[in-house]
Chain A
Amino acid sequence: TQLLEQSPQFLSIQEGENLTVYCNSSSVFSSLQWYRQEPGEGPVLLVTVVTGGEVKKLKRLTFQFGDARKDSSLHITAAQPGDTGLYLCAGPTNTGNQFYFGTGTSLTVIP
């Protein structure tokens, strides 16, 4: 059983379309992180959200942390082929020493 569930698992869209991916849990997290991983590489941190209801923007990417701090979403506007990759969410344990990772959303943007 995964503590963090992501949906959808796979997403294939045309360039220019908008999309939203989700990261859900039944547990409360002090913060959630979003990573992007490209083939053959390790995950790279995109953003950390720390306050319930917080919205952060990174160019065409908008991240939101749920009010109850149990879920988060990533919205991409006008997707580009360079957005292709595996998107992972992660949350810390109570001690902050370890992280739980979500199941991942594999995004393909078709030119």
Chain B
Amino acid sequence: NAGVTQTPKFRVLKTGQSMTLLCAQDMNHEYMYWYRQDPGMGLRLIHYSVGEGTTAKGEVPDGYNVSRLKKQNFLLGLESAAPSQTSVYFCASRDPNQPQHFGDGTRLSIL
């Protein structure tokens, strides 16, 4: 999965705390995505971006915000973490009509 780097790899938060997950890609891809993965649910799209400065809502956007100020970075924010946001978060990037490349995930636990 060289090319898409997620930071941090693990994090434990208390309910109500805030944090930002960082995704960085070095492939100059136009599109970037944030997914969450829960048991038995596959991957669900939270937010995505089709270019620098643009963002759009996915399937499960509530409780999350994103920003794409630089083409290579896509940030996912949790303003007030809730136990329901305990999950594994994956970032992906791609160019139009090309496959997605995924990072190795961020494992987030909300207590």
Contact = CB atoms under 8 A, between A and B. Distances in A.
Contact of B44 (A9, A44, A101): A101
Interface centre among B42, B56, B58 (most CB of A within 10 A): B42
A72 interface: no
A98 B43 contact: no
B53 to A, nearest CB: 16
Nearest to B6: A42
B104 interface: yes
Interface residues of A, number: 23
B105 A102 contact: no
Given A42-B1, A48-B99, A97-B31, A103 B40 contact: yes
B75 interface: no
A32 interface: no
Contacts of A44: 1, 102
Interface of A is mostly: loop
Contact of A43 (B44, B45, B50, B102): B102
Given A48-B99, A101-B44, A104-B42, A42 B105 contact: yes
Contacts of B96: 96
B105 A41 contact: yes
A45 to B, nearest CB: 4
Contact of A42 (B31, B41, B44, B103): B103
Interface in B44-58: 44-45, 48, 50, 56, 58
B42 A97 contact: no
Interface of B: 1, 4, 31, 33, 35, 40-45, 48, 50, 56, 58-59, 90, 92, 96-97, 99-100, 102-105
Interface of A: 2, 4, 6, 9, 33, 40-45, 48, 88, 90, 96-104
Given A44-B1, A99-B33, 18 more contacts: A4-B42, A6-B42, A33-B99, A41-B105, A42-B90, A42-B103, A42-B105, A43-B100, A45-B99, A88-B42, A90-B43, A97-B31, A98-B45, A98-B48, A100-B59, A101-B35, A102-B42, A104-B40
